[in-house]
Amino acid sequence: KQIVQAGMNRKNQNCEIEIHPLTYPTMERVPGCVATVHLQIALIPPSPSTSRDISTNGRERYRLQVDGTSDAMLSRGLLALVSDIFRGVTAEDILNLEPDHLATAMGLRSVLSRGRNDGVASMVRVV
């Protein structure tokens, strides 16, 4: 129920924009999803005050912002969860993430169909 509610909230935020490649020229379609899902990923550079981090040996730590939409409420809810999980996470951490393990880590693997689990993993791969 909470996933569908998150999808309904996202639907209201997207103002019922039709999913079409011309409508979302910068969005990438997620292959392997049961529904039609499009993602848009933005790479956020570190702020000047936090651009260097000792734990990264002086490398800049970019963060990701993930957004998107879907034609199915459940997929939109899963997208909202993935977006929330990735908010503030560094690009390096996401690159080190195993896509097939996210649904398990969220505690959803046993309640989602195989197609939905594959869709969550595909979202991670696109990111």
Q: How many residues does the chain have?
A: 127
* The pLDDT value given to residue 117: 92
CA distances from 72 to 30, 50, 101 (A): 13, 39, 23
From first to last of its 127 residues, what are the pLDDT tens digits of the chain?
Answer: 566 566 566 655 544 444 444 444 578 899 988 899 999 888 888 776 654 444 455 556 788 888 888 999 899 999 999 998 888 788 888 888 899 998 998 889 999 999 999 999 999 999 8
| Residue 13 burial class via C-beta count within 10 angstroms: exposed 0-12, middle 13-18, buried 19 and up | exposed
C-alpha neighbours within 13 Å on the C-beta side of residue 55: 5
Which pTM was predicted?
0.73
